[in-house]
Amino acid sequence: MAEKIRLLPLGGLGEIGKNMMVVEYRGKIVVVDTGLMFPTPEMLGIDLVLPDFSYLRDRADDIEAIVLTHGHEDHVGALPYVLREIGFPKVIYGGMLTVGMVRSKLDEHKLGGAPLTELPTGQVVEAGPFSIELVHLAHSIPDMRGVIITTDIGSVFFTGDYKFDQTPVDGRPADVARLARLGSEGLLVLAGDSTNADRPGVSPSESSVGPALIEEFSRCKGRIIVTSFASNIHRVQQVIDAAVRLDRKVALLGRSMRKNFNIASNLGIANAPEGILIQPRDIEDFPDERVIVISTGSQGEPFSALRRMANNDHRDVELHSGDTVVFSATPVPGNERAVNETIDRIYEIGASVITAKDAPIHASGHGWREEIKMMLNLTKPKYVFPVHGDFQRIRLHSELAESVGVPPENIFRGRNGLPLEVGADSASFGEEERSGIIFVDGIELADPNDASLRDRRTISGDGIVVIVATIAAEDGEVVVDPEIISRGIVALDEEIGLNDELKDLVEDSLEKSADARVRNHDLIQSDLHDAVAGFIHKRLKRRPMVVPVVVEV
Amino acid sequence: MAEKIRLLPLGGLGEIGKNMMVVEYRGKIVVVDTGLMFPTPEMLGIDLVLPDFSYLRDRADDIEAIVLTHGHEDHVGALPYVLREIGFPKVIYGGMLTVGMVRSKLDEHKLGGAPLTELPTGQVVEAGPFSIELVHLAHSIPDMRGVIITTDIGSVFFTGDYKFDQTPVDGRPADVARLARLGSEGLLVLAGDSTNADRPGVSPSESSVGPALIEEFSRCKGRIIVTSFASNIHRVQQVIDAAVRLDRKVALLGRSMRKNFNIASNLGIANAPEGILIQPRDIEDFPDERVIVISTGSQGEPFSALRRMANNDHRDVELHSGDTVVFSATPVPGNERAVNETIDRIYEIGASVITAKDAPIHASGHGWREEIKMMLNLTKPKYVFPVHGDFQRIRLHSELAESVGVPPENIFRGRNGLPLEVGADSASFGEEERSGIIFVDGIELADPNDASLRDRRTISGDGIVVIVATIAAEDGEVVVDPEIISRGIVALDEEIGLNDELKDLVEDSLEKSADARVRNHDLIQSDLHDAVAGFIHKRLKRRPMVVPVVVEV
């Protein structure tokens, strides 16, 4: 078999090839992005969701580099866990802000020694059988980089998340010239973002948001609270610029808002004129009409600054009628309810709310259909591997590729764990590899099928009963009254009657076991379990977890 | 004080005056609607959410009637629980289909003897100091009735859920003439639906959906699976009519779909021509292009027929490429994620999906802004009490009322539990009453603040540890090795090392307690609790529920 480049997407939760891509050639590996996902409500007690990267465990020595496209959590958030499990690779590349944000994150995880290296655009570095080059693209965070990985049989381009913003806030549109050269040089594979493959036309420019914000702000008579993603530095910058123009002070609220702004400030990416920033605790010292607060919580996150304000539970800011809360963001799918709840609490307080439905105060960071087609037309890939999307968007991206002339047989609709194997003149899916998700549960990594998590689910719905029976070792007679401990079962916690009945039942079961003393400890426990579980189901139509503990003295 | 009519909205979860309204006059009560809410994901193990109707408990004898506007669960679903707690009232009124659906529901709850009575529109009945009349309106379920409640100081009109559909499927538009007469007679209070107070214009007619469905269906080459609300009988009828036209057989899937269609059929409200309906188990006997399946699951409900199909887990229908799933419904806020997941599973299978974003195949059952204004203009109320909406929509409805000339001081923006007290010439809010929500938990009713439910939440996130220590009664010495039972804690379930450490710790704690034997049982348990909880938090950064059980023998 001729040598092939192998592209293995890892991850789960509906999006394909979003969080992590393992690129393999001649036995060596480059990893593009190491992102995480956020737990859904049914993942009880789970803190974070990571791609299952066990594939990399045995291959740690083969990793030539990790390349990060940009600083969003879904592209870099799993890095500390990956590094802890597989050790430091030779090098970790990214753009300036990405490296700055990731360095701060790794420091918090006590992984400060990781070989993080800023790779300037246009500079080509060798990494084993690969060469790597970053290409500047625009997104909702500065310093977004597409990744060109070249081997001796051809190049693969990973777009990361991008849009073709012609008037980005930092004045640096996507490097269309480099993309065009990629096309004229002959690109083997394009692995491109599908996020907005369902939206017709071209996405609005980030710089169109600033004037819209100024227009809304100018109508506000009282305090303005703007909420947006903390990593959207250009958005925060535009709010600050608007504040300067409207002669208002700015307070940054929420840990990630302050942290990201500081990092970006230190790197010269963001800038607040002297005297414009005030401390949250000083907000009340200024007249309402002279203040803009920029806050986390645009997704209704439970402990965010905005949610606290909406719940009348923020240390520094008490919302009141006259305030206007401006949502310069749209809910990420799944967050609609939390956002709606937050908005309605604000209405209850009597403050006003402006969302992206009312005015063009948000712009997506992902290109729409015409931009996806432009990327295809510029880079002219032989093979197209649509990524970053659910099955629907992957299919829509495939249709766009067909519409610009890519032969259907050269378009590969994959799924996580299914590697695309690409030779100079052929491509096909290989054998499925282990993939999926793992959970961060406190400080532990856990498998989603772990019995502990199943147990939590059972107990969360139906409660738990522990029966402690103390019996004599010699004859199995009950020595002291059995103890029945229940948690999470309304009727047992309240109704004394039912508890007494349950106690009688336990004693009966133990007596029967004592009569048949030839039987063993496990059988006594399992009889006890069945008797109690049956009783509770009959009486309460519930199936709690029943844990019998038989102590012999 | 002159006699006043008192309107007390009961309920919770963000919507005001939606599920239940207690109307009081001269010490007597009429209850308008007894609906329920659905649990949000954080309500672990909760089956249903009811308005807290404890206000009615002491007042059971004063209830002259319960009046039901229509058969949707959020207007009638709490009735069995209300009847069980407060007994049967003198009479329960509703339209024909409402009474049919509620009768079936009460039979299932073994409450068949309830005094359910169909009240024809236009007929006025006396109930204590009230007279009651139902007015025909249009909604997404047949036999929707507004309620006029008249006292000797004036009338109150409860719109229920309505739209001014000029071409409803049953040919019976809202009784505008009666509404106009209500206005000319002089209406005291209008308690009107605010659901779509944020949508400009007039809602599309239900009968516009049929032709759009036929157009989409005609393009489908394979099987068609339509999903919609089971109670939307007119929608189901339109799908059946389309099937007749396109020469396809129809299978009804899902318990509520079959049940509602049967009830409506028996009442002559729905009609399937002879031979058109087939059994789900016979679907495979017909060619794909000759079948339409109508299924529950438009909201992505976990155990619905559609979700099962999407999970490849339905007894009768296996989805495959060539099938088209048509969502003739939009996600209720909060259900977006479940719906998106369902859609993406269908795409993964390779089937096609058509939603209301792609074609006008759904129409809301609630009137839009111009319809709300029309209701205000027709009924010309002295006082406006906007209900059925969150704080935002209540505010928008109030603005609409102002825009048609209602003086701001005559518009009352309330909240659940706050009674509006209306005299012939004045109205104001009274003293707050107990309101909120209660949970149906298995067969029990539970308070949301119940300790059992808090316990479930704690355990669901962090697990539980039970320590069973058996000590000698005389000297407190440990008699047998302590047992440590954990559930839902990954590290404890797996790492033997940690368990051993924990055992040592428990024995240490017990020994210390034995030394200080003056101390009592409770103190031994609390020391044990603190030692174990502290250890686990230090080592695992988790705060599980810790339950120490000290047995003295």
A 10 A CB-CB count for B244 gives 14
Which tokens sit at A465? Answer: 């009963």
Distance between CA A276 and CA A296 in Å, rounded?
A: 19
Contacts of B442 in chain A (CB under 8 A): 462, 491, 540-542
B46-B50-B52 Cα angle (round to 5): 120
pLDDT digits (tens, 9 = 90+) for A113-151: 999 999 999 999 999 999 999 999 999 999 999 999 999
Residues B488, A459: C-beta atoms closer than 8 Å:
yes
pLDDT digits (tens, 9 = 90+) for A26-68: 999 999 999 999 988 888 889 999 999 999 998 999 999 999 9
- Whether residue A194 contacts residue A394, with contact meaning beta carbons closer than 8 Å, is answered with yes
pLDDT at res. A515 = 72
CA distances from A495 to A468, A499, A530, A540, B553 (A): 19, 7, 21, 12, 27
Quick one: average pLDDT of A245-274? Answer: 96
A 10 A CB-CB count for A457 gives 18
Boundaries of every domain in chain A: 5-201+364-446, 206-354, 451-552
The residue written with tokens 């959020």 in the block is: B74
* A-B C-beta contacts closer than 8 Å: 186
Contacts of B493 in chain A (CB under 8 A): 450-452
Q: Is A478 helix (H, G, I), strand (E, B) or coil?
A: strand
Task: List the end-to-end C-alpha distance of chain B, in Å, as a whole number.
Answer: 69
CB hemisphere CA count around B511 (13 angstroms): 7
Does position A518 have pLDDT exceeding 60, yes or no? no
Cβ neighbours of residue B161 closer than 8 Å, sequence gap 6 or more? B69, B70, B72, B75, B139, B140, B144, B193, B195, B365, B366, B388
Distance between CA B413 and CA B416 in Å, rounded?
A: 10
Residues A392, B493: C-beta atoms closer than 8 Å:
no
Confidence of residue A391 (pLDDT cuts 50, 70, 90): very high
Amino acid of residue A393: R
Residues A41, B45: C-beta atoms closer than 8 Å:
no
Distance between CA A498 and CA A493 in Å, rounded?
A: 9
Residues A549, B483: C-beta atoms closer than 8 Å:
yes
Distance between CA A51 and CA A437 in Å, rounded?
A: 5
Cβ neighbours of residue B446 closer than 8 Å, sequence gap 6 or more? A490, B46, B438, B439, B440, B452, B453
Distance between CA A38 and CA A60 in Å, rounded?
A: 26
pLDDT at res. B40 = 86
A551 touches chain B (CB under 8 A): yes
Distance between CA B314 and CA A444 in Å, rounded?
A: 36
Distance between CA B51 and CA B59 in Å, rounded?
A: 16
Which tokens sit at B183? Answer: 């206005």
A545 touches chain B (CB under 8 A): yes
The residue written with tokens 């990327």 in the block is: A375
> Which residue in A255, A264, A240 sits closest to A96, CA to CA?
A264
Distance between CA B481 and CA A16 in Å, rounded?
A: 51
pLDDT at res. A379 = 98
pLDDT at res. A280 = 96
Q: Which of residues 405-424 of A touch B (CB under 8 A)?
A: 415
Residues B41, A41: C-beta atoms closer than 8 Å:
yes
Distance between CA B225 and CA B288 in Å, rounded?
A: 11
Which tokens sit at B213? Answer: 């469905």
B308 vs A480, residue with greater confidence: B308
pLDDT at res. A495 = 63
B551 → closest Cβ in A14, A483, A494: A483
Contacts of B391 in chain A (CB under 8 A): 344, 347-348
Q: In sequence order, what DSSP letters do the residues of A417-443 get, joined into one string?
A: T--EEE-SS-EEE-------EEEEETT
Strands (DSSP E) along B344-380, which ranges?
352-354
Distance between CA A313 and CA A319 in Å, rounded?
A: 10
A453 touches chain B (CB under 8 A): yes
Q: Is B195 helix (H, G, I), strand (E, B) or coil?
A: coil
Residues B456, A459: C-beta atoms closer than 8 Å:
yes
A340 touches chain B (CB under 8 A): yes
Tell me the nearest-neighbour CA distance from B542 into chain A, angstroms: 6
What fold, for A206-354? Answer: Rossmann fold (3.40.50)
Determine the angle formed by the axes of helices B96-108 and B79-86, rounding to 10 degrees.
60
Containing B181, the helix (H) or strand (E) segment is helix B176-185
Contacts of B392 in chain A (CB under 8 A): 343-344, 347, 353
Residues B456, A45: C-beta atoms closer than 8 Å:
no
Contacts of B441 in chain A (CB under 8 A): 490
Which tokens sit at A194? Answer: 């599908």
**Closest CA in chain A for residue B395:** A347
**Closest CA in chain A for residue B334:** A337
Which of A47, A345, A441, A478 should one mutate to test binding to chain B, selecting the residue with the greatest count of B CBs within 10 A? Answer: A441
> Which residue in B303, B305, B294 sits closest to B270, CA to CA?
B294
- Whether residue B545 contacts residue B465, with contact meaning beta carbons closer than 8 Å, is answered with yes
Tell me the nearest-neighbour CA distance from A337 into chain B, angstroms: 5
Phi-psi region of A129 (alpha: psi -120 to 50; beta: other; left: phi over 0): alpha
pLDDT at res. B519 = 63
User: Which ranges of A145-232 does DSSP label H, i.e. alpha helix?
Assistant: 176-185, 209-219
- Whether residue A90 contacts residue A63, with contact meaning beta carbons closer than 8 Å, is answered with yes
What fold, for A5-201+364-446? Answer: Metallo-beta-lactamase; Chain A (3.60.15)
Query: Would you say the CATH fold of B451-552 matches that of B206-354?
Result: no
Which tokens sit at B12? Answer: 């919770």
Residues B341, A42: C-beta atoms closer than 8 Å:
no
Contacts of A481 in chain B (CB under 8 A): none
A 10 A CB-CB count for A186 gives 12
> Which residue in A260, A544, A267, A235 sits closest to A361, CA to CA?
A235
Which tokens sit at B365? Answer: 């059952």
Q: Which of A201-215, A240-254, B44-58 has the lowest mean pLDDT?
A: B44-58
Residues A461, B44: C-beta atoms closer than 8 Å:
yes
Determine the angle formed by the axes of helices A79-86 and A96-108, rounding to 10 degrees.
60
- Whether residue A40 contacts residue A334, with contact meaning beta carbons closer than 8 Å, is answered with yes
Helix, strand, coil in percent for chain A, rounding step 5 = 35, 25, 40
Q: Which of residues 522-541 of A touch B (CB under 8 A)?
A: 540-541
Residues of B taking part in catalysis: 193, 366
> Which residue in A58, A51, A48 sits closest to A20, CA to CA?
A51
Distance between CA A525 and CA A521 in Å, rounded?
A: 6
Cβ neighbours of residue A374 closer than 8 Å, sequence gap 6 or more? A164, A367
- Whether residue B202 contacts residue B18, with contact meaning beta carbons closer than 8 Å, is answered with no
Task: List the end-to-end C-alpha distance of chain A, in Å, as a whole number.
Answer: 69
- Per-run averaged pLDDT (10 residues), chain B, 553 residues: 89 90 98 94 89 94 98 96 96 98 96 97 97 98 98 97 96 97 97 97 97 97 97 97 97 97 96 96 96 97 94 95 97 91 95 96 97 98 97 97 98 97 96 94 84 88 91 85 88 73 87 71 88 90 90 87
Which tokens sit at A413? Answer: 């609709």
State the burial class of residue A40 (Cβ atoms within 10 Å of its Cβ: 0-12, 13-18, 19+).
middle
Domain B451-552: give its CATH code. 3.10.20.580
- Whether residue A553 contacts residue A472, with contact meaning beta carbons closer than 8 Å, is answered with yes
User: Which ranges of B28-72 does DSSP label H, i.e. alpha helix?
Assistant: 54-57
DSSP B199: S
CA distances from B265 to B236, B356, B492 (A): 11, 27, 58
Distance between CA A193 and CA A210 in Å, rounded?
A: 26
The residue written with tokens 């790794």 in the block is: A106
Cβ neighbours of residue B314 closer than 8 Å, sequence gap 6 or more? B253, B305, B308
- Please state whether beta strands B130-137 and B144-151 pair in parallel, antiparallel, or not at all (unpaired): antiparallel
Confidence of residue A519 (pLDDT cuts 50, 70, 90): low
Q: Is A17 helix (H, G, I), strand (E, B) or coil?
A: coil
Contacts of B467 in chain A (CB under 8 A): none
Contacts of A354 in chain B (CB under 8 A): none
pLDDT at res. B163 = 97
Distance between CA A479 and CA B175 in Å, rounded?
A: 76
Residues B336, A334: C-beta atoms closer than 8 Å:
yes
A399 touches chain B (CB under 8 A): no
Residues B452, A542: C-beta atoms closer than 8 Å:
no
A139-A337-B326 Cα angle (round to 5): 85
- Whether residue B35 contacts residue B9, with contact meaning beta carbons closer than 8 Å, is answered with no
Residues A336, B333: C-beta atoms closer than 8 Å:
yes
A 10 A CB-CB count for B477 gives 12
> Which residue in A190, A197, A193 sits closest to A383, CA to CA?
A190
> Which residue in B16, B114, B142, B116 sits closest to B74, CA to CA?
B16
Which tokens sit at B313? Answer: 């887990």
